[in-house]
Amino acid sequence: MRLLRKRFSLRSLLILVAVAGILLGGERLWRRSKHYRKQAALCAYFELQCRHYAATDMEEDNWAGLTLDEKRENARLNLISARRFGILKNIYQRAARHPWESLPPDTPVSVNGWDLGSLSASEIEEMVRDWKEAPT
């Protein structure tokens, strides 16, 4: 009994290598996009949180032991942090849409997510929507 041997041409092997490279590159871009989307969601969450803290810093019952100047300084620092997170959010959203481009040189690769690291980007985005819709 004679076994059938499939012969591979050089052209078919080159095509196979090209397809494998495209698949691996596409998967890497997918992972980068997913990572940047999560970073954008974290920045949106932190931006909203800092804006909330800045708004509540000036209330009478919050921070009872602080002077008015100290409360204003806390509110100012929270607004600065909110602005920084807003800028980072926009950078990461662009990076998620264009994962083949590199981040600007002064952008951190990751934002510290503390205990939010186990959540997905869509779960964090849902937290942001819930926070925005909640009555203050």
CA angle at residue 54 from 121 to 128, to 5 degrees? 20
User: pTM for the complete prediction?
Assistant: 0.73
Predicted local distance difference test score (pLDDT) of residue 136: 57
pLDDT reported for residue 59: 72
Nearest to 86, CA basis, from 132, 48, 59, 134: 48
Structure tokens at 37: 């989307």
List the Cα angle 95/96/101 in 5-degree steps. 40
Q: What is the pLDDT of residues 12-48, one digit of tens each?
A: 999 999 999 999 999 999 999 998 998 999 899 999 9
Highest mean pLDDT: which range of 2-6, 103-107, 129-133: 103-107
Query: What is the reported pLDDT for 20?
Result: 95
Give residue 57's pLDDT: 76
| pLDDT per residue as tens digits for the range 56-101 | 877 766 666 778 888 888 889 999 999 999 999 999 999 999 999 9
Domain ranges within the chain, ordered by starting residue: 10-133
**Alpha carbon distance 90, 99 (integer Å):** 14
Q: Which residues contact 105 (CB under 8 A, 6 or more apart)?
A: none
